[in-house]
Chain A
Amino acid sequence: MAAPEQLPPRVGSALDELRATIDRAAELAREIEARPPAAGDLSARLADVESDRDELSTKLAEYEQQVGRLMNLYVATYQLHATLDPSEVQATIAEIAINLLGAEQFVLLFWKNDARDSSGECEIAFAQGMEDDQTGLYPNGIYGGGDPAVDATLSDGVLRIGPIDGSKALACVPLTVQGATVGALVILKLFDHKAMLRTEDRDLLDLIAAHAASALFAARVYSNTDRKLKTLESLVALVRRQ
């Protein structure tokens, strides 16, 4: 076959055109071959975006839970200190136990005479769902000991969360004022739709331990002082009239 330069100019030009076309075809073929990796790249980017979205959704759910948890803590603290009426403070402790912790059966214990007297007994200041109590440890508004977890919490002021060997309590929350344990909130049963105490409940239990007794103590002190003041005012008024 003759070399192209030896061919007539018209044929040579056509051959050049053919070569250019072949080169262009090869270039296009390379571009087409390059396309699958580009599509793969898009898929990878899509996967990244989906992963980011999932991560953000998880974080959002975590933040929502966090907000809910903080909201519970804020509301509980606010409400505990919103009144100086001892019975209202007590009712608030019960409301926290029922509405925020989901406690169906619980007792609020205080050492008799506000001190660990020789009897070693606690009075039950408030009880919920104890009508069918099977433990027999809380008769006639008195707790005389017998549950190892409750006794330990009343003694050392440490929060205990069950299950605890030999104890019927799901949680024993010490009630402390200025470092002294004056009683305990004992949770014995949760509502059926709440299988167990959750991690976030621990914060609420800590809050009760730190705030409930001091709120109640402050309310009792105020109530006693207010009563004495009113008695004195009546006496002064009486003396002035005479």
Chain B
Amino acid sequence: MKTRKVLVVDDSKLLHRMFEMMLRGFPLVHAFDGREALDRLAEHKDVELILLDINMPRMNGLEFLTAVKAHPEFARIPVVIITTEGTEDDTERGMQAGAAAYVKKPFRNEELLGVINRLTASPAA
């Protein structure tokens, strides 16, 4: 079965660990800010989905999203914004910038897996 590589971009180590547990069927690539995420994308051109936090140091989620959507090679990759309450404006800007969906923290496993399954070809494990 074809594996679907997911790039997780978040400055929270806790959430990286959480995604590792939740998305056992997916090979994960980790980045802790937008700039590092761009480097990881350049290394892993087979990434099929991006889970993106907004508030991060160095390069925030919106700046990263804009850079991804402007890149001819990466623009096709669906991006899911992982958002918190009080960042509705940022989430809205993210959706307008080309994000495919958003999930509010705290989220349930099935909620996140539902979104991922919808955006990727075959069901997640």
Question: Which residues of A come within 8 Å of B, CB atoms?
Answer: 64-65, 67-68, 71-72, 74-76, 78-79, 82, 92, 95-96, 98-102, 104, 191-194
Q: How far is the CA of A104 from the CA of B111 in the complex (A)?
A: 21
Chain A residues with CB under 8 Å of B121's CB are none
Asked if B15 is at the interface (CB within 8 A of a chain A CB), the reply is yes
Q: Is the interface of A mostly helix, strand, loop or mixed?
A: helix
Tell me which of B1-9, B17-25, B33-41 binds A. B17-25
Chain A residues with CB under 8 Å of B17's CB are 75, 78-79
Q: How many residues of B contact A (CB 8 A)?
A: 17
Query: What are 23 A-B pairs at a CB distance below 8 A?
Result: A65-B108, A68-B109, A68-B110, A71-B18, A71-B21, A75-B17, A75-B18, A76-B14, A79-B14, A95-B12, A95-B14, A98-B84, A98-B105, A99-B15, A100-B14, A100-B106, A101-B106, A102-B85, A102-B105, A102-B106, A191-B84, A192-B85, A193-B104
CB < 8 Å: which of A78, A99, A191 contacts B12?
A: A99
Known: A67-B109, A191-B84. A96 touches B22 (CB 8 A): no
Q: How far is the CB of B86 from chain A (nearest CB, A)?
A: 7
Q: How far is the CB of B47 from chain A (nearest CB, A)?
A: 23
Q: How far is the CB of A45 from chain B (nearest CB, A)?
A: 30
Q: How far is the CA of A194 from the CA of B84 in the complex (A)?
A: 11
Q: How far is the CA of A104 from the CA of B84 in the complex (A)?
A: 9
